[in-house]
Amino acid sequence: MSNPYDSNDETFFVAVGRLALAWGLIDSALAALVKIIHTHFGGQKIERDIPESLSRKIDYLRRSFSRTEALKPIAHMIRPTLTEISKASETRHDIIHGILLSAPEATQSTQMVRFLRRKRSTHKIFSISTPEILVHAEGARNLGTYVVNFVNALGEFLSVQHKVSK
């Protein structure tokens, strides 16, 4: 079976793959943070069940850091990142859930369309290039790494607190 894509297509698809993997890092890191808060900081009082969707995780974390006394002093360290993740998720949705309208080009923009979930059926046509996708992938990776580091620091804090309380 022959490959229906040329090298420009392959470069485009690699960029989309990098974006998808970077968002996997963000989602996993946020899930870990939610789990820590739910387990160790009374998160059940914020929401009975652990949220699964990205928007619900972000909303849960914002509410947790503004309502939980033990988390309020460090809220400033995560709130801006949550806002950046929320903003960046729109571009991620466009690219991951979009449909190609033209063949990908190495450096030129490619037209895509994404159908939006609303009461009235609507869509969004946009242009994006491989280099732009790579920039978004790098930004997502940086956001994910920040959240991972935040989760690790919070875990170390809990570990120290646990040792002190023994």
Distance CA 90, CA 17 (A): 17
pTM score, two decimals? 0.86
Chain segment 89-135, per-residue pLDDT in tens: 999 999 999 999 887 765 688 889 998 876 677 888 999 999 999 99
Tokens representing residue 24 in the block:
């996997």
Task: Yes or no: say if 106 and 130 are a contact pair by the CB < 8 Å rule.
Answer: yes
Chain segment 17-49, per-residue pLDDT in tens: 999 999 999 999 999 999 999 999 998 899 999
Is the model's pLDDT at 81 over the cut of 70? Answer: yes
Q: Residue with structure tokens 């739910």?
A: 38
Distance CA 78, CA 83 (A): 9
